[in-house]
Chains A and B, each alone.
Chain A
Amino acid sequence: MTKPAIPIKAPRVLVVDDGITMRLYYRTVLEAAGFVVEEATNGVEGYEKALAQRFDLLIVDINMPKMDGYSMLRAIRRDAAVQGVPALTISTEAGQADAIKAYESGANYYLVKPVAPETLTDVARLMTGSGV
């Protein structure tokens, strides 16, 4: 499969998930939609990457080794160096309590696995305000 040409100002997405299949899935879907995708395999790595580079959207899994998604988002929101990048959590927990918990820890939106490719692209486009 040929990768689509990357637009000059392609929005950058950081995908943080410990599942290699999930990361490939997000990457494939988002790259097909014109996003540039970076990956991190746990909260610590995600936090470090989010500090080191500029992203337009963070996509964060909740249950991860080392540092879970909630803690990672809390850490990011506490850090003045990363000002207000929109964050989306995607987790298998489907309850409203989980949505509230995600919002409390700093997420801006919440999706439940499995996420259909169209939903993922739609949400990513909306949250980055990009027409890609």
Chain B
Amino acid sequence: MTTPLLLRFVSEARDLLQFAASGLLALERNPRDEAAINDVFRSVHTLKGSVGLFDFPAFTKLVHAGEDVLSAVRAGQLPISSEIVDLLLDALDQFGAWLDDIEGRRGLSDGADGLSRDLTAALRALLPDDFGAAATTARSAGELASVDWLPDISEAERLEAFRAATSGSQLLAIEYSPAEDCFFSGEDPVNLFRQVRPLYGLIIEPREPWPAPEAFDPYRCVLRFRALTAAPRAEVEGLFRYVIEQISVVPVGPETLIAVAGEPNGGPVYGDFVADALALLAASDWEGLRRSVSALHELTGRHLFVASALRWLEAVLGAPAPDSGWVGALIDCIAQGSSVPVPPCNSGISTTPATKQPHSVTGPLARLSALARDILDGQRVILEMAAESTTFASRLTAVGCTAANVLRGVVRQSDLEAWGSAVEASLADGTPVAALAELERLLNASTGAPSEVTAADALRPEPTGTQTQEQRQAPARVLKVDQAKVDALMNLIGELVVSKNSLPFLAKRAEEVHGSREMGREIKDVYGVIDRLAQDMQAAIMAVRMLPVSEVLDRFPRLVRDVARKLGKRVELVIEGEETAADKNIIEMLGDPLLHIIRNSLDHGIEMPEEREATGKPPDASVRIKAFQEGDQVVIEVADDGRGIDPERIRAVAVAKGLIDEERASRLTDQEAVNLVFAAGFSTAAKVSDLSGRGVGMDVVVTTVEKAGGSVSLTSVKGQGTSVRLGLPLSMAVTRVMMVEAAGGNLFGIPMDQIAETVRIARGQVRRIKQAETFVLRNAVVPLVRLDRLLGVEPPLWFGDADQEEAVLVVRIGGSLTGLVVDHFREGMDIILKPFDGILSDISGYAGTALLGDGRVLLVLNLKELL
């Protein structure tokens, strides 16, 4: 269902954008046009509602900022100006671009967060300073459900807060849980929280137990801040206006702070004091009591329970009008040597009940969900409201109906009937009293433990449910499978392919050892069947993972168009063979290198139209992306008809950058010079262009492609164009290796795609240049390396005739050839490469291991690391 919803969203949003844009223009012409501002505001407001259904945080944030600006304009707080209209139009354009992205790729482009942040900041900067204060009337902090952490605050700070409260301030308990990703949006939770002044007893603690050190993510904020403040609620909400959903506050009465704690001391040694104090209390002789308390306090060890009680007594008596209930309770504490509950304030100091009492969870209503209880609570709130007489009956009926619906099937039939008659009674006498009483009875039927959910929780925005909804309602016909499962299947089939290879070996044994040709032939027949099945299975599982290259190529038409327009160039993009398929991993890895190559081509290769015409070329340049399968490789060619690469310039730049010296540069062939663009640190662009990237050169392309087992080559004719060719394996799952014998009869695998050729050379043909051995291969000098030595084994000493041949594997690493001397060549084979894991994973020089048909383990070399 999501796709139709998303499509509907895109088309609706386009209409809204159009509408908003024309409204904005009308507004610019006539700033007093109220209809226009209302239209624009409503369009953006509707857009905000719809975009919230999807998981596009960058989009949502920017819409929100736009709505705030429009809201300020509408409220007359912000006069409309061309600057504002420009910025808003920019934002609308951005929405349009994102809608294109969403339509094309079902997600926002990579830079969306940054764009959104910049534009959002620009828009918010327009808002008048007092806008946040106005906004808080619309958006307020949630109610804090529980303040059971108050005793965690130190006594000294509670005393301080208590004194502030008894001298007339209203205390607020604040709980602030910053978003986990708040560090990425530039928030500074500690700093923000400390701006609340005055702050008493700041508690910073993790919301959840700290994870094990290895799982610890320092960029994730899992802190919770709790504190008391005497700041007015509006001020707190103003400070937190951008993260208002992350804080909850509740007013607390001073008595909730009184908690006596300390070391016990034996015996009723304070009997005299208690008797005196009670007498003074009865006489309301606060001054006398103060003196008496202070005298005893002097004599009491400060860690004792009694001392704590005395400190509280002093604080209570320090108030202009001490609360006798609190004084009495604290004297009781001292008399009993243990805490007694402190009654709520009964004197002039105003306190607000800590929070709305949550309702029962134990009685018949226990079967109701938190949601149901919250709806019922809503009906109670409605009943408590004064209603106009004209709507009383209708509203009461609606409440009666709603509550009955919620209760249906949960409470006894008699309760339902009682509720029904209570509503009737209320309807009859025109007051909600009867209904309210019955609803209270139902809700409080058995008030037990406080429930964890309050109205405030339910009023907070729901977390976006789009994903869960996608999962729930995905059409059943397409099976979504975790890629890991497909990989596991792939591995198993790979092992089957490998282990079937032991059958020919068995057949040979049957013939030679057991002398049964018959048996040998039968085994070979079976082998033929299993071989075919295994190959089919492998092809089938590969097909599951195959994707067409259009997956990556589809984004280029727009990219080329936009980039070309930005550069003032005219380019026609032709894509061929987009149906060519390759393994998912390969496709996924192709995107970035291709993007880089194409940007390079547009930025450096393609000339401006005038320049092209001057050289007799058509003004429209062409960029051709061609994908096709060649053998077991997918080839992607990107060719342009631009100015090509000038080998002279490359030589000059390479020398200037110190990559090679001048003498060597002059000896390079033109093709070798052109290949220098692949060298690390080479980038011909004089200045870093914002198009072809952040100063990374073609070397990144080469590294990425080679990592996936592919190769890159580049040909260029000056004045005629450049062509880059990427060759990639169809799949990364099965690797073809050549086995060689070295280091005294051990087998090693070398990836086939690194092998250029195998040659045998007579020992006499090995030339020594200083310490290094070389040989000549078709007029080129190729360095010679002995695999034994690479593996840390001293090669056998050689005495003997110069005609004896060496087996040399010529490998191509990073574009240059190296001869690898091995003991013997062995056959090539398909293997499933298993990288080292566990304690072996640090070993360098090996790409991994593979299991051979006869049960031996083959070590596969990573020549790039070895050489």
Does B559 lie at the interface of the complex (its beta carbon under 8 Å from any beta carbon of A)?
no
Contacts of B379 in A (CB 8 A): 108
Q: Which of A25, A77, A96, A126 contacts B406 (CB 8 A)?
A: A126
Given contact pairs A108-B378, A115-B462, A126-B372, A1 touches B475 in the complex (Cβ within 8 A): yes
Q: Assess whether B139 is in contact with A95, with CB atoms less than 8 Å apart.
A: yes
Quote the shortest CB–CB distance from A69 to chain B (angstroms).
12
Q: Assess whether A85 is in contact with B42, with CB atoms less than 8 Å apart.
A: no
Q: Assess whether A112 is in contact with B1, with CB atoms less than 8 Å apart.
A: no
Cα A122 to Cα B463 with chains together (Å):
15
Q: Which of A84, A110, A130 has the most CB of B within 10 A?
A: A84
Q: Which of B4, B372, B382, B466 contacts A24 (CB 8 A)?
A: B4
Interface string of B122-145 (1 = CB under 8 A from A): 000000000000000111100100
Q: Assess whether B462 is in contact with A63, with CB atoms less than 8 Å apart.
A: no
Q: Assess whether B402 is in contact with A127, with CB atoms less than 8 Å apart.
A: yes
Does B9 lie at the interface of the complex (its beta carbon under 8 Å from any beta carbon of A)?
yes
Q: Assess whether B461 is in contact with A78, with CB atoms less than 8 Å apart.
A: no
Q: Assess whether A118 is in contact with B140, with CB atoms less than 8 Å apart.
A: no
Cα A99 to Cα B398 with chains together (Å):
17
Cα A65 to Cα B473 with chains together (Å):
32
Contacts of A128 in B (CB 8 A): 405
Does B469 lie at the interface of the complex (its beta carbon under 8 Å from any beta carbon of A)?
yes
Given contact pairs A1-B475, A119-B462, A127-B375, A86 touches B49 in the complex (Cβ within 8 A): no
Cα A78 to Cα B389 with chains together (Å):
9
Q: Assess whether B12 is in contact with A21, with CB atoms less than 8 Å apart.
A: yes
Q: Which of A106, A116, A117 contacts B391 (CB 8 A)?
A: A106
Q: Assess whether B390 is in contact with A78, with CB atoms less than 8 Å apart.
A: yes
Q: Which of A32, A106, A110 contacts B398 (CB 8 A)?
A: A106
Q: Assess whether A108 is in contact with B369, with CB atoms less than 8 Å apart.
A: no
Cα A24 to Cα B4 with chains together (Å):
9
Interface string of A53-67 (1 = CB under 8 A from B): 000000001011100
Q: Assess whether A127 is in contact with B394, with CB atoms less than 8 Å apart.
A: no
Quote the shortest CB–CB distance from B802 to chain A (angstroms).
80
Q: Assess whether B382 is in contact with A122, with CB atoms less than 8 Å apart.
A: no
Name the interface residues of B39-58: CB closer than 8 Å to any CB of A.
42, 45-46, 48-50, 52-53
Given contact pairs A92-B49, A117-B469, A123-B375, A108 touches B404 in the complex (Cβ within 8 A): no
Q: Assess whether A113 is in contact with B49, with CB atoms less than 8 Å apart.
A: yes
Q: Assess whether B385 is in contact with A119, with CB atoms less than 8 Å apart.
A: no
Q: Name the residue of chain A whose CB is nearest to the CB of B52.
A: A114
Q: Assess whether B391 is in contact with A20, with CB atoms less than 8 Å apart.
A: no
Q: Assess whether A95 is in contact with B405, with CB atoms less than 8 Å apart.
A: no
Contacts of B375 in A (CB 8 A): 108-109, 123, 126-127
Interface string of A77-112 (1 = CB under 8 A from B): 111101111110000111111111001101011111
Q: Which of A18, A97, A108 contacts B42 (CB 8 A)?
A: A18
Cα A22 to Cα B244 with chains together (Å):
25
Contacts of A7 in B (CB 8 A): none
Cα A94 to Cα B471 with chains together (Å):
27
Q: Assess whether B400 is in contact with A84, with CB atoms less than 8 Å apart.
A: yes
Does A74 lie at the interface of the complex (its beta carbon under 8 Å from any beta carbon of B)?
yes
Contacts of B459 in A (CB 8 A): 94, 96, 99, 110, 112
Q: Assess whether B138 is in contact with A97, with CB atoms less than 8 Å apart.
A: yes
**How many residues of B are in contact with the other chain, CB < 8 A?**
63
Q: Which of B49, B369, B372, B401 contacts A61 (CB 8 A)?
A: B49
Contacts of B533 in A (CB 8 A): none
**How many residues of A are in contact with the other chain, CB < 8 A?**
60
Q: Assess whether A85 is in contact with B401, with CB atoms less than 8 Å apart.
A: yes
Q: Name the residue of chain A whose CB is nearest to the CB of B473.
A: A32
Cα A126 to Cα B379 with chains together (Å):
13
Does B580 lie at the interface of the complex (its beta carbon under 8 Å from any beta carbon of A)?
no
Q: Assess whether A22 is in contact with B400, with CB atoms less than 8 Å apart.
A: no
Q: Which of B5, B391, B468 has the most CB of A within 10 A?
A: B391
Q: Assess whether A93 is in contact with B139, with CB atoms less than 8 Å apart.
A: yes
B interface majority secondary structure: helix
Does B408 lie at the interface of the complex (its beta carbon under 8 Å from any beta carbon of A)?
yes
Contacts of B143 in A (CB 8 A): 96
Name the interface residues of A14-46: CB closer than 8 Å to any CB of B.
17-22, 24-25, 28-29, 32
Q: Assess whether B49 is in contact with A19, with CB atoms less than 8 Å apart.
A: yes
Cα A123 to Cα B475 with chains together (Å):
25
Contacts of A65 in B (CB 8 A): 42
Contacts of B12 in A (CB 8 A): 19-21
Quote the shortest CB–CB distance from B529 to chain A (angstroms).
43
Q: Assess whether B456 is in contact with A96, with CB atoms less than 8 Å apart.
A: yes
Given contact pairs A28-B1, A80-B394, A116 touches B465 in the complex (Cβ within 8 A): yes
Quote the shortest CB–CB distance from B421 to chain A (angstroms).
16
Q: Name the residue of chain A whose CB is nearest to the CB of B371.
A: A122
Q: Assess whether A22 is in contact with B139, with CB atoms less than 8 Å apart.
A: no
Quote the shortest CB–CB distance from A81 to chain B (angstroms).
10
Name the interface residues of B458-504: CB closer than 8 Å to any CB of A.
459-466, 468-469, 472-473, 475
Q: Name the residue of chain A whose CB is nearest to the CB of B143.
A: A96
Given contact pairs A21-B5, A84-B398, A92-B49, A116 touches B462 in the complex (Cβ within 8 A): yes
Q: Assess whether B385 is in contact with A104, with CB atoms less than 8 Å apart.
A: yes
Contacts of B13 in A (CB 8 A): 21
Contacts of B724 in A (CB 8 A): none
Q: Name the residue of chain B whose CB is nearest to the CB of A86.
A: B402
Cα A111 to Cα B397 with chains together (Å):
21
Q: Assess whether B397 is in contact with A84, with CB atoms less than 8 Å apart.
A: yes
Cα A108 to Cα B402 with chains together (Å):
7
Cα A45 to Cα B402 with chains together (Å):
23
Contacts of A25 in B (CB 8 A): 5, 53
Given contact pairs A18-B42, A63-B42, A116-B468, A95 touches B399 in the complex (Cβ within 8 A): no
Contacts of A19 in B (CB 8 A): 12, 46, 49-50
Contacts of B408 in A (CB 8 A): 129
Quote the shortest CB–CB distance from B667 to chain A (angstroms).
66
Does B826 lie at the interface of the complex (its beta carbon under 8 Å from any beta carbon of A)?
no
Given contact pairs A19-B46, A106-B395, A116-B469, A131 touches B409 in the complex (Cβ within 8 A): yes
Cα A115 to Cα B143 with chains together (Å):
20
Q: Name the residue of chain A whose CB is nearest to the CB of B381.
A: A103
Quote the shortest CB–CB distance from A87 to chain B (angstroms).
7
Contacts of A78 in B (CB 8 A): 390-391, 394
Does B245 lie at the interface of the complex (its beta carbon under 8 Å from any beta carbon of A)?
yes
Given contact pairs A1-B1, A85-B401, A108 touches B52 in the complex (Cβ within 8 A): no
Q: Assess whether A129 is in contact with B405, with CB atoms less than 8 Å apart.
A: yes
Cα A80 to Cα B399 with chains together (Å):
15
Interface string of B1-44 (1 = CB under 8 A from A): 10011001100110000000000000000000000000000100
Q: Which 7 A-B pairs have the closest CB atoms?
A: A84-B397, A116-B465, A129-B405, A114-B52, A84-B398, A21-B50, A77-B391
Residue numbers of A with Cβ under 8 A of B are 1, 17-22, 24-25, 28-29, 32, 61, 63-65, 74, 76-80, 82-87, 92-100, 103-104, 106, 108-119, 122-123, 126-131
Residue numbers of B with Cβ under 8 A of A are 1, 4-5, 8-9, 12-13, 42, 45-46, 48-50, 52-53, 137-140, 143, 244-245, 369, 371-372, 375, 378-379, 381-382, 385, 390-391, 393-402, 404-406, 408-409, 455-456, 459-466, 468-469, 472-473, 475
A-B contact pairs, 10 of them (CB 8 A): A17-B49, A83-B397, A84-B400, A93-B138, A95-B140, A96-B459, A104-B385, A115-B462, A127-B406, A129-B408
Given contacts A83-B397, A127-B375, A129-B405, 12 further A-B contacts (CB under 8 A): A1-B475, A20-B8, A25-B53, A28-B4, A82-B394, A84-B396, A84-B398, A94-B461, A109-B378, A110-B459, A112-B462, A130-B405
